[in-house]
A = this chain, B = another copy of it.
């Protein structure tokens, strides 16, 4: 299951073909379950025999389960298969400057365990120690064997591999400048690790358990400390040449007369700053939730002011990426996001104005405090279903 990363993987061979096909089959089971072998063969273009062999292997590895036979029309009723939720688990960890959020998720995308850990600082050793503890706690609490943990998805603020971009409110972690986070975590946690930014992780979370289960190309606008964009194209994460694609928060937009970075209008920090003007402190999602249910006028004013630049951003994303839909989510209360979506005035000049749309132009994604941590876990699950495509030579 694990590829050798020491030399370039560009050419293909039988082994990699199998890996690819295995993940194709697993992906079909996930999205069409319960489903039979013959149907997967038809959908994938593989021969029934090939599918049959792979299915046998997946049952053997406890990734999927038999679920009776289904008779539809003539012929031998097809044996149906479904995902085995308990066939594998992934741990997601969101690292923030002063806290760590963790979530354990199974193959079905169901959350089995969550935790919040305070951090004294965000130095690598501190984080590694806390992560190691959470790993033991999560697997212990759920009675999971080491080999059932497919990997750990770590969500950390980017941008990665560059300097000089820490604008106002850009909360970077200290002590990580000269460290390769993947290698660092893999060696300390002895487990395969992926590292991503919050927006991308949240986007993938929607594929595993949320709105995007059957979507292939979509974008996710994520309310974090700043504002991020997760981009999924043909089921693959788009990271850009240096891993920093989707920095939509830096984009300049217009709000009334002011021209400013998008994230200074629409982000967790933007709300906090706005509310602070009126002496209201925002600590976490719950504070916002409460203010919203109290119909706070200042919060309402902020929503109005954020809607205009956000509408521009949506138009931008539509015209540049032409996604099936745009998902809006992040560490914000549901109702607040719904309200915000209701206030959007989407531009007419957009390729998204198709006559035969099956989805709204903007929908709300999963939200709340754990979104990013769940996304981290989702990255690992997603990897089991659809391999990363190899860079071409």
A residues sitting closer than 8 Å to B (CB atoms) are: 7-14, 16-17, 20-21, 24-25, 27-28, 31, 42-46, 50, 159, 161-165, 167, 216-218, 229, 233-236, 238-248, 250-252, 254, 259, 261, 312, 315-317, 319-324, 347, 349-351, 353-355, 386, 389, 391-393
Contacts and interface: CB of A to CB of B under 8 A. Distances in A.
Contacts of A25: 11
Summarize A's interface: helix, strand, loop or mixed: loop
B159 A229 contact: no
A351 B242 CA distance: 9
A8 B251 contact: no
B243 A45 contact: no
A41 to B, nearest CB: 9
A322 B11 contact: no
Nearest to A160: B351
Given A320-B246, A392-B234, A254 B251 contact: no
B316 A393 contact: no
Contacts of A164: 353, 355
A14 B11 contact: no
A138 to B, nearest CB: 29
A28 to B, nearest CB: 5
Nearest first, the 9 A-B pairs at minimum CB distance are A240-B322, A11-B46, A217-B241, A244-B351, A245-B322, A235-B392, A247-B319, A250-B349, A11-B44
